[in-house]
């Protein structure tokens, strides 16, 4: 009994010295351990990120400026191009770039928040996606694909009754012939 009183006094003095309130011998050690952990940088998290965890994809320490520059470049290139503002590709890329820029500018110190908001992978992956989109945009502008999309007037055959067999007796003979020609073409290849 006397030893337990002495033990409590010793723990009380130890806790007072380390500014930790404790009732058992383990608690001061655990609290001190967790408080020391909070002050130590954790590799892979925040500005202490050391790896993306993806082979061939290095950490980009200046991710903030790179993301802004790449997405703004996409917007500027589309603005300077002859592509009409009504082209669906331009509308979609503009929305994507503006969404990403807004997320980046509202979280300048937190890449994890941007990754959660955009849901497009790590910031380094988002940088690669912007590079890929720039290559697609160059091709789109060079080939003037928006004109091809505008010219295309696809005809879609819609069969409102899926139970009708086009190859059957009451089916459409034109559809049956088109199917036969398609099958024969595939078998020749």
Question: pLDDT tens digit string along 112-155?
Answer: 999 999 999 999 999 999 999 999 999 999 999 998 887 776 66
- Tell me, what's the pLDDT at 176? 77
| Percent of the chain predicted with pLDDT > 90 | 43
pLDDT digits (tens, 9 = 90+) for 84-118: 999 999 999 999 999 999 999 999 989 999 999 99
184 confidence band (pLDDT: 50, 70, 90): confident
Global pTM reads 0.57
Q: Which of 137, 65, 47 is nearest to 101 (CA)?
A: 65
pLDDT digits (tens, 9 = 90+) for 47-86: 567 888 888 989 899 999 999 999 999 999 999 999 999 9
Residue 13 pLDDT exceeds 60: no
């Amino acid at each position: 009994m006397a030893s337990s009183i002495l033990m409590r006094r010793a723990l009380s003095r130890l806790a007072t010295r380390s500014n930790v309130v404790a009732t058992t011998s383990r608690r001061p050690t655990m609290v001190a351990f967790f408080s020391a952990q909070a002050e130590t940088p954790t590799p892979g998290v925040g500005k202490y990120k050391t790896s993306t965890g993806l082979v061939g994809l290095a950490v980009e320490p200046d991710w903030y400026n790179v993301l802004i520059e790449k997405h703004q470049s996409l917007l500027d290139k589309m603005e300077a191009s002859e592509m009409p503002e009504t082209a669906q590709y331009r509308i979609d890329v503009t929305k994507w770039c503006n969404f990403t820029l807004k997320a980046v500018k509202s979280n300048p110190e937190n890449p994890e928040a941007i990754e959660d908001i955009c849901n497009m992978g790590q910031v380094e992956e988002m940088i690669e996606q912007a590079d890929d989109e720039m290559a697609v945009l160059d091709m789109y502008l060079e080939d003037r694909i928006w004109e091809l999309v505008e010219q295309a007037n696809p005809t879609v055959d819609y069969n409102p009754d899926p139970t009708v067999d086009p190859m059957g007796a009451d089916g459409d003979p034109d559809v049956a012939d088109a199917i036969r020609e398609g099958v024969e073409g595939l078998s020749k290849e």
